[in-house]
A and B are shown apart, each in its own frame.
Chain A
Amino acid sequence: MNFLIEAFKPACSISIKFSDGKTRKRVPIKRENGQTLLAPLFRNQENIAGKITIEPHQGKRIEHNGVKVELLGQIEMYLDRGNFYDFTSLVRELDVPGDIYERTTYPFEFSMVEMPYETYNGVNVRLRYVLKVTVSRNYGGSIIEYLNFLVHNYSPPPSINTSIKMEVGIEDCLHIEFEYNKSKYHLKDVIIGKIYYFLVKIKIKTMDIEIRRRESTVTGATNHVETETLAKFELMDGAPVRGESIPVRLFLSPYELTPTHRNINNKFSVKYYLNLVLVDEEGLRYFKQQQITIYRLPLQDT
């Protein structure tokens, strides 16, 4: 029995270590099974270097056609039968075909890697970066090991960041003006604003503000849009009268937001909206949606 198990075990164990693995920041990442694990975090155009160690089991000899490490940037569309599109693919050959008898360590380095997109885990789409080590063999199949890592890209504070201000209403029924202090918010930002009531003829029960994420994916010729409400925040309780002004102060930090992604590799976009919702006593909802841009400032990785 023991022998049998031995037979199906991979012939060797492969470990991938980043050279700055001890100091590099690690952030939690959600896996398909729902568990979270900590993965190292990189930025665009960083050098990705490390060591790959291959250790054959119990002194076995591994005959191979070569050892290589690839750095892949992949977009996975769930609606397209899980197809991957690699938008980045870099290869380093680590060894020429031959045999490995003992524990062997290969250093590798990808320098100034172009990783223009952030890691993203959406409803219909996933963008991930992975290191893939392949020990190619003719028989028994190649031995492959993956290592996921994350990429976050920082944006400088936008030079133009106008407020969002708008008057909306239903004639002779409801007339409000809302104002959010900016149109672009970083991930730990706080939305400050106010809603001013010019005219209220309906009996409003509550007013909420929602943060909605719109994820649109392109698969072939079809466009798919998925909208999620990430935050529902009550702004007002009760019926206001003409002239009231209701403050808005919404901290973004409690919510799992990502930066806005625009047309990532022609595959998908992620946009954020602030949705102001008024509910009247009969349960009717009146709402107005405004797009906002979310960006990541440095040191906002958790």
Chain B
Amino acid sequence: MIADGVEDEEKWLAAGIAGLQQNAFYMHRALDSNNIRDALKYSAQMLSELRTSRLSPHKYYELYMRAFDELRKLEMFFKEETRRGCSIVDLYELVQHAGNILPRLYLLCTVGSVYIKSKEAPAKDVLKDLVEMCRGIQHPVRGLFLRSYLAQVSRDKLPDIGSEYEGDADTVVDAVEFVLQNFTEMNKLWVRMQHQGPAREKEKREKERSELRDLVGKNLHVLSQIEGIDLDMYKETVLPRVLEQVVNCKDEIAQYYLMDCIIQVFPDEYHLQTLDVLLGAFPQLQPTVDIKTVLSRLMERLSNYAASSADVLPEFLQVEAFSKLNNAIGKVIEAQPDMPILGVITLYSSLLTFTLHVHPDRLDYADQVLGACVKKLSGKEKLEDKKATKQIVALLSAPLDKYNDIVTALKLSNYPRVMEYLDSETNKVMATVIIQSIMKNKTRISTADRVEALFELIKGLIKDLDDAFHDEVDEDDFKEEQNSVARLIQLLHSDDPEEMFKIICTVRKHILGGGPKRLPFTVPPLVFSSLKLVRQLQGQEENPFGEEESTTPKKIFQVLNQTVETLSNIPAPELALQLFLQCAEAANDCDLEPVAYEFFTQAYILYEEEISDSRAQVTAIHLIIGTLQRMHVFGVENRDTLTHKATGYSAKLLKKPDQCRAVYACSHLFWVDDQDNVKDGERVLLCLKRALRIANAAQQMSNAARGSAGSVTLFVEILNKYLYFFEKGNPQITVAAIQSLIELITTEMHSDSSTPDPAADAFFASTLRYMEFQKQKGGAIGEKYEPIKV
């Protein structure tokens, strides 16, 4: 049926065109022979094709355009006819003899156009007559096209200022009156379409109406091009009249389209100066009108206008554009209780963009907008609507984009309150946006208050917001998020240690609630940030002002101790251990023996109680040894305790090679180059010998278990240690010991049971080459090496 309908329509259109062309042909013949009566007769017949009700607006337009072309020729003819002496007044009457109204009015408009051009009557009188007579067409589509024809032929003949049709004073009023009246009538017809025909065709009708809307809107365009409309006239006449029509038509489609039209066609400065009136219309629109889009466009235009030149800014201030817009939005929201929250947010978002552009210095405005937004959101659940949350993100991002500076945004007290209405997902997105903004702009956030505010904002990333069910979080995303938080923590800095300490405490307060999954990401940056502060303080006199309260490394270390401790509870013992050792080293540099000792103790406890994985143990023990080796703050007793423990741990490692390596590493604990009190050659040798024993045992175990001795790598490694201490002048390391070790290795390498190991061979070879090289170098070292035979 529907397909048939379309086909039928094509047929009707074809028939209409055929009829039109045929009569146009006769009309042309009559025109050629100057037979005015026939010309009128055939042109009326031709125009009768436009009387059809069967075509959709789209197809009707096609027919109309053909008729339009023909009417242009007829108009030319009328023009020539009057030049030949035919009275235009008679002609004006003559065309009105046509019995059918539609052809009659098309002809009347055509002659009317010539009439105005002839200037035999004032343009305003002719226009007034035409626009009045057109009332005879009450059929929406036909009426719209007829009046659109009238608008078309008259637009260059309006008695505008500076136009040749300008009559006595104030005729521009007549021009305006004419266009307004035509506009009003067209809009009425257009709106009426909605209510005619069966209800089931509503959708089709709305489609047809939208096809026709530009015919109506064109009048506004014509109005906007009338030169004579100055601001006063726009304010006093044009705008109120147009708005009256828009409001009174009570039609959703029309109101939306026309409000948008008004905003688009008239100049920005007019909008600015008539904001009251314009905005006053919005709350009166139908509750279903998509006001948010229209208002947003208005604000967008005004923003662009403000951006166009600094000269116009005072105007904005003068008319109090912001408060007017703000009020209007409030009223609109009130007037449309059914407006979805998305609409509300979009409105505020646009307003915020507007105020950021126009009044970048007025943070209070921005805050006011956010406040209003909060007010609207309050009493509602967290937002479920995806679009709405997206819009909130846009709303919240706007100040960041504008100021490039989170510090400014942090001054907006309502900012975090808006964020509260986001679901945790979006909250995270927003937090990420904020962090990215900070990182992009390398913003310095240097007071604890701001840090507090900032962390309040990004708490979506800092801790789990709702303990309720939450979806599986993608592991990579989570890491990405937490890494960005970590980077953020690194960025927080204040030159004032006092403040910096406060910042650290603030951050700490926030991140500690982050739960086991977040702490490993967030604690390390905090620790390092604290240590940085420690080092900064270290350079200064302690407590330069003698104030009790002032920040001291001690205090910081206390905090650190507690902080790192949390990691051991998660449990993340390896990480905690590393951090403890870092702290210990820092304490060492600050000459705080007890503190350093405490940290070591913590590390040892962790090692003993928490680190059970053998591989982790190996890593940990090497870290411990490395750190301990560099500690200079410890007294003999403490040092002994710690080294003793470390050596003990080393010997208790599971795998022999690990044991061996740990033990020979321990040798360094007894011989520190730049510490004269730590040069215990004997214990070094003991360690190395013990290492050798273990290496031997490892060799035998391997022999027993696999039938082949292991590699000699361990021996070569130990040899290197020997050489190191030999060079350093450890008296216990003798040439003979080295010599025998070399022999041992050589023997082992050539024994039948040994497994060939090219890496070990190469290692050994290069060690020997090194010794050769040292010999040849001569000098003290050369002499030392001389006795060794390779």
Contact = CB atoms under 8 A, between A and B. Distances in A.
A63 to B, nearest CB: 55
Contacts of A233: 99
B694 interface: no
A234 B93 contact: no
Contacts of A245: 135
A240 B138 contact: yes
B138 A244 contact: yes
A249 interface: yes
B96 interface: yes
A138 B486 CA distance: 145
A235 B104 CA distance: 10
Contacts of A234: 99-101, 104, 136
A275 to B, nearest CB: 15
Interface in A218-260: 231-241, 244-247, 249, 251, 253-254
Contacts of A253: 97
Given A238-B143, A239-B196, A241-B192, A246 B138 contact: yes
Size bracket, chain B contacts: 20 to 34
A187 to B, nearest CB: 15
B140 A238 contact: yes
Contacts of B137: 236-238
B133 interface: yes
Contacts of B196: 239
A238 B138 contact: yes
Contacts of B453: none
A238 B133 contact: no
B135 A247 contact: yes
A251 B99 contact: no
Nearest to B143: A238
Nearest to A200: B138
Which secondary structure dominates chain A's binding surface? strand
Contacts, number: 54
Interface class of chain B by DSSP: helix
B136 A236 contact: yes
Contacts of A247: 132-133, 135-136
B66 interface: no
Contacts of B101: 234-237
A246 B135 contact: yes
B139 interface: yes
A146 B140 CA distance: 61
B135 A254 contact: no
A228 B786 CA distance: 149
B99 A232 contact: yes
A231 B102 CA distance: 17
Nearest to B101: A234
A238 B100 contact: no
Contacts of B97: 251, 253-254
B124 interface: no
Contacts of A237: 51, 101-102, 136-139, 142-143
A168 B188 CA distance: 25
A204 B93 CA distance: 28
B131 to A, nearest CB: 11
B99 A239 contact: no
Contacts of B51: 237
Contacts of A204: 138
B142 A249 contact: no
B60 to A, nearest CB: 14
A236 B99 CA distance: 11
B135, B137, B188, B192: residue with the most chain A Cβ atoms closer than 10 Å:
B135
A239 B100 contact: no
Contacts of B104: 234
A246 B99 contact: no
Given A235-B136, A237-B51, A238-B142, A249 B100 contact: no
Given A234-B101, A236-B101, A237-B102, A244 B135 contact: yes
Interface string B374-385: 000000000000
Interface centre among A235, A238, A244, A251 (most CB of B within 10 A): A238
A181 to B, nearest CB: 15
A204 B138 CA distance: 10
Contacts of A235: 101, 136
A176 to B, nearest CB: 13
A240 B140 CA distance: 10
Interface string A130-161: 00000000000000000000000000000000
Interface string B142-167: 11000000000000000000000000
B133 to A, nearest CB: 6
Contacts of B192: 241
B138 A249 contact: no
A244 B139 CA distance: 12
B133 A249 contact: yes
Contacts of A251: 93, 96-97
A121 to B, nearest CB: 23
B527 to A, nearest CB: 79
A236 B192 CA distance: 16
B551 to A, nearest CB: 82
B50 to A, nearest CB: 10
A116 B137 CA distance: 45
Interface string B96-126: 1101111010000000000000000000000
Contacts of A231: 99
A203 B102 CA distance: 19
A236 B138 contact: yes
6 contacts: A233-B99, A237-B137, A246-B136, A246-B138, A251-B96, A253-B97
Given A236-B136, A249-B96, A251-B93, 18 more contacts: A234-B99, A234-B101, A234-B104, A234-B136, A235-B136, A237-B137, A237-B138, A237-B139, A241-B138, A241-B188, A241-B192, A244-B138, A246-B135, A247-B132, A249-B133, A251-B96, A251-B97, A253-B97
4 interchain residue pairs of minimum CB distance: A238-B139, A238-B138, A234-B101, A240-B138
